[in-house]
């Protein structure tokens, strides 16, 4: 069974590139973002090009429902080995000029690590000696 990688924010940018790179290294993928059409197109393309399996979860991770659906997918995954915690956005202004409401997603994304730890396989990974996660800070 191939190792699976779950990538949040996989519908564009850095997350999409991670998806391609990890598919090229022989990982099955679980791709998470809001834009279902882009996720589906990417999943089918990577399956064709790399012979892997790519599932999608169309979810808004700034909402409780979105987080819950991603957690449900994690809970039933067979061979998770990597979390790329990348969904988010950038804000180009002085920190003290940022509207607090607009930072909700950043907070939600950081919380994802905490939420994910309920269902994520950190203990399993430590027992088998591999697996990992990576979180991208906002900029
Ligand atoms: N580019 C940089 O120089 C840089 C530097 C430092 C850190 N970062 C961080 O790296 C990450 C990716 O940056 P990027 O430049 O690749 O940005 P991007 O092209 O805008 O990609 C952001 C991704 O996050 C997803 N996303 C946004 N809001 C979401 C939500 N509420 N729920 C689920 N998914 C959501 C987007 O998909 P949907 O719109 O389909 O949901 C998209 O796939 C961000 O967290 C960013 O803050 C970027």
Percent of the chain's residues with pLDDT above 90: 41
pLDDT tens for 85-132 read 888 777 777 777 777 666 666 666 555 655 555 566 666 667 677 777
pLDDT tens for 37-50 read 999 999 999 999 99
The preferred substitution site among 14, 60, 66 for testing ligand 1, maximizing ligand atoms within 8 Å of CB, is 14
Q: Which residues line ligand 1 (CB under 6 A)?
A: 8-15, 33-35, 38, 60-62, 86-90, 105, 136-139
| 131, 121 Cβ separation under 8 angstroms | yes
**What is the 17 CA–ligand 1 centroid distance (Å)?**
12
**What is the 127 CA–ligand 1 centroid distance (Å)?**
32
- The fourth-level CATH superfamily of domain 4-132 is NAD(P)-binding Rossmann-like Domain (3.40.50.720)
Domain spans of the chain, in order of start? 4-132
| 57, 70 Cβ separation under 8 angstroms | yes
| 79, 3 Cβ separation under 8 angstroms | yes
Global confidence as pTM: 0.88
DSSP-assigned letter for residue 9: S
Q: Give the residue from 30, 109, 32 showing the smallest Cα distance to 77.
A: 30
């Amino acid at each position: 069974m191939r190792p699976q990688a779950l990538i949040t924010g996989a519908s564009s940018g850095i997350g999409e590139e991670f998806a391609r790179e990890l598919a090229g290294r022989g990982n099955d993928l679980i791709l998470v973002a809001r834009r279902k059409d882009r996720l589906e197109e990417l999943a089918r393309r990577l399956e064709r090009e790399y012979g892997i399996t790519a599932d999608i979860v169309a979810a808004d991770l700034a909402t409780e429902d979105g987080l819950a659906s991603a957690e449900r997918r994690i809970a039933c995954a067979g061979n998770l080995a990597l979390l790329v915690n990348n969904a988010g956005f950038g804000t180009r202004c002085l920190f003290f000029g940022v509207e607090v409401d607009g930072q909700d997603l950043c907070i939600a994304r950081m919380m994802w690590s905490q939420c994910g730890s309920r269902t994520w396989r950190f203990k399993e990974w430590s027992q088998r000696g591999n697996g990992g996660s990576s979180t991208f800070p906002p900029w």
